Amino acid sequence: MDHFDLKNGVLHAEDVPLPAIAAAVGTPVYVYSRATLTRHARVFRDALGVLPSKHIAFAVKSNPNLAVLKLLAKEGYGADVVSGGEMERALAAGMAPEGIVFSGVGKTQAELVRGLEAGIGQFNLESEEEGVELAALAAERGLRAPAVLRVNPDVDAQTHGKISTGKAENKFGVPYDKAAAIFGRLAALPGLDLRGLAVHIGSQLSNLDPMEAAFARLGDLMHTIRGAGHTVSHMDLGGGVGVPYKAGDVFPSPEDYAAMVARVTGNWGVTLMFEPGRIITGNSGVLLTKVVRVKPGVTSPFVIVDAAMNDLARPALYDAWHDFLAVEPNGERMTAHIVGPICESSDTFAMSRDIDVVSPGDLAVFRTAGAYGATMANTYNSRPLVAEVMVDGDKWAIVAERIDPAAILAAERVPDWLE
């Protein structure tokens, strides 16, 4: 459920008509609903209430906006970060260092040191080499780094190939059949407090079965490791639960997910860690855009909007679907291709889509844009870096200013030998 609804024929975010935001801030602009974010955070947390001991670390990569992180910190969420930049954001939002999980396949030495010095709660090790390096850095500082070992369970998540992470050929984690031996060697290092295992097989999963299979494999490994005399107190189950992008699609609910987790992990006797991203932020944001022009095409007209693949990359990268709705629909429908202004054909949001009739100057939204939207934006074609707004009831505020091409140009230099 979200709070983007038609009221008197005009699409609103909570109690704010979207044309008011477009008039004040311009387009394209991401619009987040505070009530929706809060609701998703609470529904997910409450669903996990059936589990005895857990910690939820929001996957910052899905939406790293400072206001979003602040809201989730207030809801008791920690953070799952994958770079020094994300770590600094989580800390700046007031998240407790011990509630931060540091994931990522290529943490640099500087990032590991910063994480140690900040006292972050858990390092998710992606290789034996990383564990050895972290252990040495921690020991030099008289510390023991809390860590878990990420395992690649070789399970097909049945999602888009570019967001699958749990097959043997993917770069993530250590191979399943080598994991127990690696765990044993790393656990012996004085600089590490190796306390468990982690898994994350992919994102936007529409079916919980592959996750259940991966968790069960992780549980078997946990028993093997305990059998070898090690203590396992924490198991990190990652993120990955998908959300419906098309009106009418049905996805597993947080309750379904929690029931599955409870079934698999019932006798584990550990603190479970979760790293949800999209399920919290996905449906809490839309990308508000304006129709620039409608031009005839061979099969259908092209609706050219002022948002492009640099603002919302998912359709170009993963052929992702985002519902497209007119902000003031007149009840008529048309079939059209929806495209942005960028000079390549991948700048296409939809082909031959049945949509509300729109004309030049009309406002429209791409829905379910709160996750992996603004965070993946860039400035290709020297376009601005997209702005972000958060709505709260009848109030709204800019939570990320649009960064103009002039500011980016001002950061560039021509070497004197080119003058």
Minimal distance, residue 53 CB to ligand LLP, in Å: 19
Among 278, 322, 337, 367, binds ligand LLP (CB under 6 A): 278
Of 34-42, 56-64, 66-74, 287-295, which segment contacts ligand LLP by CB under 6 A?
56-64
DSSP state letter for 361: T
Span 128-157, contacts to ligand LLP by CB under 6 A: none
Among 83, 203, 265, 283, binds ligand LLP (CB under 6 A): 203
**What CA–CA distance (Å, rounded) separates 29 from 32?**
10
Residue located via tokens 């878990």? 148
Q: Does 159 bind ligand LLP (CB under 6 A)?
A: no
Minimal distance, residue 8 CB to ligand LLP, in Å: 33
14 three-state secondary structure:
coil
Handedness of CA 334, 338, 341, 346 (dihedral sign): negative
Q: Does 276 bind ligand LLP (CB under 6 A)?
A: yes
Binding mask 225-254 for ligand LLP (x = CB under 6 A): -------------xxx--------------
**What CA–CA distance (Å, rounded) separates 38 from 76?**
11
Instruction: Name every residue whose Cβ is closer than 8 Å to that of residue 269 and which is 6 or more positions away in sequence.
Output: none
Minimal distance, residue 372 CB to ligand LLP, in Å: 3
Q: DSSP letter string over 23-56? A: HHH-SSEEEEEHHHHHHHHHHHHHHGGGSSSEEE
Among 112, 163, 182, 399, binds ligand LLP (CB under 6 A): 163
Minimal distance, residue 281 CB to ligand LLP, in Å: 8
Q: DSSP letter string over 325-342? A: EESS--S-EEEEEEE-SS
Best CA proximity match to 241, nearest among 261, 270, 222: 261
Tokens found for residue 226: 């305990």
Q: Does 314 bind ligand LLP (CB under 6 A)?
A: yes
Minimal distance, residue 58 CB to ligand LLP, in Å: 9
Q: Does 310 bind ligand LLP (CB under 6 A)?
A: no
Phi, psi of 387, deg, nearest 5 = -90, 160
Beta carbon nearer to ligand LLP, 61 or 383? 61
194 three-state secondary structure:
strand
Best CA proximity match to 283, nearest among 240, 337, 246: 246
Q: Does 204 bind ligand LLP (CB under 6 A)?
A: yes
Among 372, 388, 389, 399, binds ligand LLP (CB under 6 A): 372
Q: For residue 220, which amino acid is it?
A: D
Binding mask 82-121 for ligand LLP (x = CB under 6 A): ---------------------x------------------
How far apart, in Å, do the first and last CA atoms of the chain sit? 57
Of 136-144, 199-207, 353-361, 406-414, which segment contacts ligand LLP by CB under 6 A?
199-207
| Number of C-beta neighbours around residue 411 at 10 A | 6
- Select which of 343, 406, 410, 414 is catalytic: 343
> Binding-site residue total for ligand LLP (CB under 6 A)?
22
Residue located via tokens 């649009």? 402
Is 343 assigned a catalytic role? yes
Q: Which residues are catalytic?
A: 343
Binding site for ligand LLP (CB under 6 A): 59, 61-62, 80, 103, 163, 165, 200, 203-204, 238-240, 275-279, 314, 318, 371-372
